[in-house]
Amino acid sequence: MTRLLIFIILSINIMGKSFEGYWLIPSGKTIILITQENREFSGHVVWLKDPLYPAGDPMEGKIQIDRKNPDPLLRNREVMDLKVVGDMHTDPENSNVLKGGWVYDSWNGKKYYGKAELYEKNLLRLRGSLDPWGILGYSQKCSRVTDLEKYNLPK
């Protein structure tokens, strides 16, 4: 009975919290904006700590682009505004989980099966997997950005 009560309290606590918003990737170098259109969620890069390639990089001083994309026609896309999360939808069995979509890593040019889980209002686990079951993959705990002025982000 105690476990059921704890589960109910935790469920009520998380209910009503949204995936939508600005999320800081753990490295602190990127912020993505997750939005919902119809029933699907997607995310775009909206802030980069270093929008230009750093000293020592072969493209030093130039705007960061999707240079490792496997499609040569897409390699000149700027990382800023790049769609990096797509086609995710709410899990009908758990409203704190998004699934069925993809996550794109522009640093290595690879697209992965995607999943996101809202642990609390300001903590999101974003996972990219090689397999659709999420067994072989990598997760990042992203923090919701609440101080929009700090990053010069629109409200």
Using only the alpha carbons of the chain, give its radius of gyration: 17
46-53 LR contacts (CB < 8 Å, sep 24+): 46/22, 46/80, 46/81, 46/153, 47/22, 47/151, 47/152, 47/153, 48/79, 48/80, 51/79, 51/80
Q: How many percent of the chain have pLDDT more than 90? A: 84
pLDDT of 83 above 70: yes
In angstroms, the CA 155 to CA 12 distance is 27
Confidence of residue 155 (pLDDT cuts 50, 70, 90): confident
- Helix ranges (H only) for the chain are 2-14
pLDDT at 117: 97
Contact 24, 31 (CB under 8 A): yes
Across residues 55-84, what is the average pLDDT?
97
Alpha carbon 3 to its chain's center: 31
pLDDT of 26 above 60: yes
Confidence of residue 27 (pLDDT cuts 50, 70, 90): very high
Across residues 44-73, what is the average pLDDT?
97
**Residue 128 burial by CB count (10 A; 0-12/13-18/19+): exposed, middle or buried?**
buried
- Residue 74 has which token pair? 């897409």
pLDDT at 17: 62
In angstroms, the CA 155 to CA 66 distance is 27
CA distances from 30 to 10, 95, 134 (A): 30, 26, 23
pLDDT at 3: 39
pTM: 0.86
According to DSSP, the β-strands at 123-129 and 110-120 are antiparallel
